[in-house]
Amino acid sequence: MFTYELSPLGETAVRVVLGTGIDPDIHRKVKTLSEYLDRNPFPGMIEYIPSFSSVTVLYNPMESSFDTVSVFFREASNQIQESTQYVPKTVEIPVCYGGEFGPDLEFVAEQNGLSVEEVIKIHSEAEYLVYMIGFAPGFPYLGGMSERIATPRRSSPRISIPAGSVGIAGSQTGVYPIETPGGWQLIGRTPLALFRPNESPPSLLQAGDVIRFRPITLEEYKQYGRNG
**For the structural domain made of 5-76, what CATH number should be given?**
3.30.1360.40
Cα(168)–Cα(157) distance, rounded to whole angstroms? 13
CB 70 within 8 A of CB 21: no
The backbone torsions φ and ψ at residue 6, rounded to the nearest 5 degrees and listed phi first, read: -115, 135
> For the purposes of burial, counting CB atoms within 10 Å of the CB of 91, is it exposed (0-12), middle (13-18) or buried (19 or more)?
middle
- Percent of the chain past pLDDT 70, that is, above it, reads 96
Do 154 and 194 touch, CB atoms closer than 8 A?
Answer: no
Task: Give the span between the Cα atoms of 182 and 218, in whole angstroms.
Answer: 24
Q: Is the dihedral of CA 90, 92, 93, 95 positive or negative?
A: positive
User: Residue 227 — very low, low, confident or very high, per pLDDT cuts 50/70/90?
Assistant: low
Query: For residue 133, what are the β-bridge partners?
Result: 140
pLDDT > 60? residue 48: yes
Pick from 8-17, 31-40, 92-101, 187-196: least confident = 31-40
Distance CA 84, CA 13 (A): 29
Task: Supply the pLDDT for residue 224.
Answer: 86
**180, amino acid identity:** T
**DSSP state at residue 203:** B
**For residue 85, is pLDDT > 90?**
no
Domain locations along the chain: 5-76, 90-227
pLDDT tops 80 at residue 86: no
Q: What is the CATH number of domain 90-227?
A: 2.40.100.10
Count of residues making up the chain? 228
| 90-227 and 5-76 share a CATH fold | no
- Look at residue 84 and tell me whether its pLDDT is greater than 70: no
pTM, to two decimals: 0.82
